[in-house]
Amino acid sequence: METAKTIESVRVLVKAARSEGKKIGFVPTMGALHVGHISLIEKAVKECDFVIVSIFVNPTQFGPGEDFEKYPRPLEADLDICRKGGVDVVFVPTPEQMYQAENLTWVNVEKITEPLCGRFRPGHFRGVATVCAKLFNIVGADVAYFGQKDAQQAVVIRRMVDDLKMPLEIVVLPTVREDGGLAVSSRNKYLTEEQKKDARLIYKSLQKCREMIEAGNTDPEAITAEMRKILSQAPSIQIEYVSIVDAENLQKLDKIIGRVLAAVAVRIGPARLIDNIVLDIKKQ
Ligand code: AMP
């Protein structure tokens, strides 16, 4: 496995792989790798001949007062996971390589970045879309792998690739969960055992949503009210949003029908946690 620290070195390695006719897979991450990331790496290794993982804590997707500085950066452990996972190249750029002193070109995906996390993290998706566009241009992969855990991010990236005619396929893989249902996240490290227990209510609220919809309830207000009740069982949980939206355009629904995304964002202690499920409701 190669660890590439510069844009030029990644390009040279990918060019060589491509000249051998290899299918190039790419897994962009911020590091602090866990079983969620590993599921993406495994899929990429299975489906592609040459796999690149990037590890870059992207400053432009963090807002003021967010956890950019304290975001975990266990590089040696991450490299070990990649090595064991069969990754060919780990790309670890510095912020200076990714951004000039003043970055003048930004990717703004409209509308679908406004609801859900977009409301609570202004500028976040501009940072995400911009860094992904840069990484896609650097790596030149055939396929990039993302997790359903960050549902809005996956929708935004798919749309950016589609709108800008970027020549790569986006694959979105299911959310990996701990026992008890909590979605695995690098930010779970910020939680005490007690807070982690409380955090299980997030998945419990999503399961309640699934049950109600499967029982034929089509009223988003009634369902989100029940979800909120479950989340309020833990005083440590501060709800940011509980929403049921169209899974493609992320707009609010009056009635639940078609492919819907039920999404939750909460704060527990120092952590901001998100989770979601997608349900496909057949038209009656
Ligand atoms: P991050 O390092 O948090 O930027 O995440 C890198 C990629 O891993 C993103 O595509 C995430 O959606 C994905 N990911 C993070 N957590 C999980 C999880 N629990 N299950 C599946 N994918 C995940």
At 171-221, the pLDDT tens digits run 999 999 999 999 999 999 999 999 999 999 999 999 999 999 999 999 999
The answer, yes or no, to whether residue 49 has pLDDT greater than 80, is: yes
pLDDT band at 282 (very low <50, low <70, confident <90, very high): confident
Query: Whole-model pTM above 0.95?
Result: yes
Phi, psi of 53 (to 5 degrees): -115, 130
What are the contacts of 12-20 at 24+ separation with CB within 8 A?
13/52, 13/88, 13/89, 14/50, 14/52, 14/89, 14/139, 14/140, 14/141, 17/49, 17/50, 17/88, 18/140
Q: Phi/psi of residue 105, each to 5°? A: -115, 120
> Which ligand 1 atom is nearest residue 183's CA?
19
Q: Span 162-168, mean pLDDT?
A: 98
Token pair of 106 as six digits:
């930004």
Long-range contacts of the stretch 250-255 (C-beta < 8 A, 24+): 250/112, 250/115, 250/116, 250/152, 250/155, 251/115, 252/115, 252/220, 253/220, 254/220, 255/218, 255/219, 255/220
Calculate mean pLDDT across residues 134-157. 98
Query: What does the pLDDT average to over 143-155?
Result: 98
Ligand 1: residue of 26, 29, 39, 203 to mutate (most ligand atoms within 8 A of CB) is 29
Is position 34 annotated as part of the catalytic site?
A: no
How many A from CA of 144 to the centre of ligand 1? 12
User: What's the confidence (pLDDT) of residue 157?
Assistant: 98
Per residue in 74-131, pLDDT (tens digit) is 999 999 999 999 999 999 999 999 999 999 999 999 999 999 999 999 999 999 999 9
Sequence-distant (≥ 6) Cβ neighbours of residue 198 within 8 angstroms: 234, 236, 237, 268
The pLDDT of residue 170 is above 80: yes
Note the pLDDT tens digit of each residue in 64-74.
999 999 999 99
State the pLDDT at residue 283.
Answer: 60
CA of residue 9 to ligand 1 center, whole Å = 25
Which of 150, 172, 173 for a ligand 1 pocket mutation test, highest count of atoms within 8 Å of Cβ?
150
| pLDDT the model gives residue 164 | 98
Q: How many CA atoms lie within 13 A of 162 on its CB side?
A: 8
**C-beta of 144 in contact with ligand 1 (< 6 A):** no
Regarding the beta carbon of 29 and ligand 1, being less than 6 Å apart is answered yes
CA gap 224, 217 in Å, rounded: 11
CA of 146 to the centre of ligand 1 (A): 7
CA torsion, points 132, 136, 142, 148, in degrees to nearest 10? Answer: -10
In the β-sheet with 258-268, what is the strand arrangement from edge to edge?
237-246, 258-268, 271-281
Q: Which atom of ligand 1 is nearest to the CA of 185?
A: 16
Round to whole Å and give the CA distance between 73 and 56: 9
Ligand 1 atom nearest the C-alpha of 37 is 8
DSSP 151: H
Say which residue the tokens 């790496």 belong to. 41
* Distance from the alpha carbon of residue 283 to the mean position of ligand 1, in angstroms: 31
- List 37, 121, 124, 126, catalytic entry: 37
DSSP characters for 196-207? HHHHHHHHHHHH
Residue type, 261: L
- Strand positions, DSSP E, the chain: 2-4, 24-29, 50-55, 89-91, 143-147, 169-173, 237-246, 258-268, 271-281
CA nearest ligand 1 atom 5, residue: 29
